[in-house]
Structure 1
């Protein structure tokens, strides 16, 4: 691929920067206006076009750059219906360079998911469903015999760089008569494997007051802004004690928008009380990508601008915060010497209708639009030609 200079990219803190990528490695990061003539001893960023071995791309006005977006909750195993989709359709094609499958597969199919990830352009990681059948059925924790502890432990041993945590969906339609017992088993498996839990919350039983006390530091509550009766806020919008206690002990709050798990009203209540998301994720799969209300990561991020969050803090929740939870800080930074991992986007100042999982529609005056991405030596953009 050679050397490529990307110019006039804006960071979310407002600074304009120029980037040099050499054979897939980010070799220079400079605030615009600094002399780039020492890049490999040649070149002048003001000369434009292609010069001295550099391909130069002038970013269109208003183009932002961040480290590659990370979606901590997706469903990327297309064989499972309804919760599945193609990896790159919910990843790189949406400007998301890293996706984390949130428990689509248990031990029975995790090898297949890992193999499909190696063929994709999007970086794929996974939470392992504690049920060996995963989302082959959507009541995967209704039969405790499907929690095969030996298989969970073996899968974690087999794929230590791929599996980042364990997933347990703890809501009525999933656990049925098993109640809280699958979460008790998940806690034991977490201790045995050393991996944190991502816990899906939803309709009772079990009651949310039974669920949250079992979570520990770095465990994740996903869907924490849902508007269901069994949510984390009382009728007046005040956070339950179990939620504030969990935040104090370091439990991680993840959005997990999904088809039925994000409410503008709940999000506003959370914001009023300073209960902010650690990470913003989509819970995207084919149905809610094509038909809404999710559509894309950019659409979900736009909802947080509408809620009054700033651009910098919003993007941080899909870059730095997510990378830190994963223990891969390099994925959340733009730093010379790292493999190129970038997302390009704009913020359009125009009226846009946004809808939550409750069907509430709001008109926002700002909309984030993904424009492309870079992963190593591969460029994905209508503007950039590899």
Structure 2
């Protein structure tokens, strides 16, 4: 008899090619079995709902209380239906220990950090105070970043760097080159944020290696992946062919419907869908992971692909092989989704709206094999 059984839900697990009504059993904190007629000490009837592997938000900012942009991880995870939150460089070498001790180890939801190449991480982020952590190279020490990544190797899954007019300013592309060098020595991928130029997309894309992550990949003009003739830039296509991972990272200013629709028209789906939730974007237009996923359903991406981009693809992007699927023996994390029918006005970062007929809502979370 299992510790917990989710009974009668539509189980969608893209990693296993599974889409059927069946039961899921959890024992000892892990997924134990999938099949009909499972029995458990605790049984949750999820008939009419969708059961997926625990959702993974690949781009969040949850250094709550330690940075000005962080949101409360457990509160956010419950809202967003997530079991794993990848923090995209809120902390740098100078405060990764504080993030670990005061937030990661005290939170119920799983938090996996990418460490910022900048020593203080993202330290000045609000409506009234905004200063790019890579605007001054005195804030970057490659040896310090490498040392911290190695000291926290059990947690850190990548190097985060932000470049662009508002984040690296006069330093332009130099912080990316420094991050790539650290990542090479640490054996980790880089996640790069690119905002308005300089640097230009054409400078960034050729530098990215197989397994590196371009977040904000469907950003609006400028530095959009779409050219003026509405074709995809060659350097973007070449990067995908090379194995670069394309992540949405919606945020407050980094997702455009025009870009997304053009990319989809050319058959270019994002590898990963993520929210880039922080204190500003949680108020809109991103809101959370489920809202971001719902936007892709609204523009024609099938539900199974939206789930794939929020489970197994996200896990693979940061080399987490113990989650992202409901394969027996792996972590006992699952998300129960409800599909709300209606008329919804979805808004992108430019203010453009797109109507949708469905919105995903959180109907429950299983974390570490227990109902959360």
TM-score tier after normalising by the smaller chain length? over 0.9
Which secondary structure state, in structure 1, belongs to the residue aligned with residue 209 of structure 2?
Answer: coil
**2:78–2:362 Cα contact (<8 Å) kept:** no
Asked if 1:57 is matched to 2:57, the reply is no
Structure 1 residues 263-274: aligned runs within 5 Å: 263-274=256-267
TM-score, scaled to structure 1:
0.89
**1:82–1:287 Cα contact (<8 Å) kept:** no
Distance 2:320 2:177 in 1: 29
Deviation, structure 1 residue 2 = 7.2
Match among 347, 353, 359 for residue 367 of structure 1: 359
Deviation, structure 1 residue 80 = 5.5
Distance 2:33 2:104 in 1: 29
Deviation, structure 1 residue 86 = 1.2
**1:202–1:228 Cα contact (<8 Å) kept:** no
Which secondary structure state, in structure 2, belongs to the residue aligned with residue 205 of structure 1?
Answer: coil
Can you list the C-alpha shifts for 1:283-309, whole angstroms capped at 9, x where unaligned? Answer: 0012221x2111111110000101101
Q: Tell me the equivalent position of 1:338.
A: 330
Q: Tell me the equivalent position of 1:174.
A: 167
Distance 2:6 2:291 in 1: 26
TM-score, scaled to structure 2:
0.92
- What is the count of residue pairs matched by the alignment? 360
Structure 1 residues 1-386: aligned runs within 5 Å: 3-12=3-12, 14-30=19-35, 32=36, 35-36=37-38, 54-59=41-46, 61-79=47-65, 82-115=68-101, 116-137=103-124, 138-289=131-282, 291-380=283-372
**1:353–1:364 Cα contact (<8 Å) kept:** yes
Deviation, structure 1 residue 264 = 0.7
Note closer, same or farther for the CA distance 1:56–1:235 as it changes in structure 2 (3 Å cut). Answer: same
Distance 2:213 2:27 in 1: 37
Which ranges in structure 1 are unaligned for 5 or more consecutive residues? Answer: 37-42, 44-52, 381-386
Which secondary structure state, in structure 2, belongs to the residue aligned with residue 163 of structure 1?
Answer: coil
Can you list the C-alpha shifts for 1:66-96, whole angstroms capped at 9, x where unaligned? Answer: 1100011001112356521111122244210
Which secondary structure state, in structure 1, belongs to the residue aligned with residue 90 of structure 2?
Answer: coil
Distance 1:254 1:133 in 2: 24
Larger Rg belongs to: 1
Which secondary structure state, in structure 1, belongs to the residue aligned with residue 4 of structure 2?
Answer: strand
Which ranges in structure 2 are unaligned for 5 or more consecutive residues? Answer: 13-17, 125-130
**1:92–1:121 Cα contact (<8 Å) kept:** no
